[in-house]
Structure 1
Amino acid sequence: MAKHKDIDISEDNEVKQCLQYCHDMGTVVYFDEKNLADHVILDPKWLINALRCLVSDKIDNVIEVSDDWETLTDTGQLTDALISLLFKKEPELNFEENKAHLIEVMKRFDIIVNLKKSTALYMPCMIKSCSFSKFKSSLVTKINHFTKLAGYV
């Protein structure tokens, strides 16, 4: 399409500039970054619908009673299986086929994050907050528990 005589864009750099301009205007979603540069989302509403599958209060009862859902609501950790289940809420939009790229886009927007040196995915908006003292007492309890298991006490 870019090489059409009326458009006459033939250099990769010009294509990237065009895509960046369209991204800035809001007509496409494009990032010239590792893991993202090979994909262009031509319909931003499609991306919004994908995000809505994960960040929504409309969850099927089957999902709500799953272990993966309980893990998400308890710790904020999002499993691959749960992502697939949630994407099935809109099967006609083929989110599952594009799951790897959608996850990278969601990471770019900080909707999903990896913790350091971990492949586990987390949704920061689902991580429960607590006071530092509660966290500290929980950590001390866990350390004492592990120490007892290791036979150091």
Structure 2
Amino acid sequence: METQTASEDKPQTAASSRIPDRVTATDAALTLIRTLKDIHGPVMFHQSGGCCDGSAPMCFALGDFKTGAQDVLLGEIEGSPFYIGKAQYEYWRHTQLIIDVVDGRGGMFSLEGPEGKRFLTRSRVFSDDEWAALKDSEQTDQTA
């Protein structure tokens, strides 16, 4: 997601000065994503809902995972789309997801497994100002 700023003719407020990304990644995660893209080409992510691999970010070659009407595009990390199921999005909508990487075995279907790493989702609650900016941007998107 690109950072959006208020236009020059519009007064800048704390809420409109910066729209926070709903998903970000640590430097270690960005490095691993670049490695995976070098090996597999373009990739995408889906925050799994808990079945076989628990609630973890899963990395797939772009097009290998089919998204549907119940998936929400949360943003992009390292140019790769990041989706989450609608029910999970509703539960986590007040938080920023921070994708990290740790040593260990990844999900059995996720591309990072053979690298001896696994992606991990951390989160933080948006501040009041960040939440207001997100709500304002959603209202603007709906009226545009």
TM-score for both structures, normalised by structure 1: 0.21
Greater strand proportion? 2
TM-score for both structures, normalised by structure 2: 0.22
Greater helix proportion? 1
